[in-house]
Amino acid sequence: MTSKRAERVGDVGADRREQAAFLFQSGDRVLQGRGICARVETPASGGAHRDSLFLHAVEEAFARARQAGIAEPVIMGAIPFDTTRPSCLYVPREHAWVARPAPVSSAPVAPAQVREVRNLPSADGFCLAVEEAIEAFRRGELSKAVLSRIQEIRLAEPADVETILANLARQNPTGYQFRIPVAEGGELVGVSPELLVRKQGARVHTNPLA
C-alpha cells in the first residue's frame, strides 16, 4: 500500500470536504472540527513501529496540512477493531477547543418515523449464539464472550445528525460524545460513558475496561 491510497482527498466531493463536521467531547471541553484537509486510510496494523506505513501516512497528512497553512493540525477519526481494514482518519481544515455547553433541559426532539427495523442476527440467531457461547465456556474454550447484534433502522426521512447528538446528550450528559464522517456519505455518531485514555502533560493514564 502506498501513501497515495493512504490519503485520497480528491475523491471526496467538494461539498463534503467543506461541510464535513467533527466532534469529540471530553470532560468540560469540546474539540470541534470542520472541513477536510487530508485523509488517512492506511490500516493501523503495525502502527506501533516508527517505520510503519500507518505512521508515514499520518506524518504525510500533517505535512500536507502545514503546507496548507494549518499551524497546529490535529487528526480526528476512527480506527476499526480489525486494524487490517482501512482507517477513517482526517485532518480538519479548521478546529478549536470550546467549552462544553450547558445541559439542555428541554424535552427530546421526536425522532423521525420508523419504516423498517432489521436485526442482524435475528432473535433466534442471537439466542443460538448465546447457547454456543455457554457450551464453549463449559468446554473451557472461552473465558469471555461479548455478544452483540446490528440493528438497521430505515426512517421515513433522512436522519438529522444534530438532533441525534442533542438527544444523546440529554440521555447521557456526562458522556464522551463523538461525530466523525465515514465512507459513502455516512456519519459515525455516539456517546460513551467510558474514558479509555487520559493524558495530562507527559503522563498517560489508561482504563481498559474491556
Q: How far is CA 181 from CA 10, 43, 47, 81, 109, in A?
A: 16, 17, 22, 17, 23
Q: Are 181 and 21 in contact (CB under 8 A)?
A: yes
* Residue in 59, 131, 162, 194 annotated catalytic: 194
Q: Are 20 and 34 in contact (CB under 8 A)?
A: yes
4 is catalytic: no
CA distance 25 to 28: 8
144 is catalytic: yes
- Please, which residues have CB within 8 angstroms of residue 96's CB and are 6 or more apart in sequence? 31, 32
* Residue in 4, 72, 141, 144 annotated catalytic: 144
Give 192-200 contacts, CB < 8 A, sequence gap 24+.
195/26
Q: Which residues are catalytic?
A: 144, 194
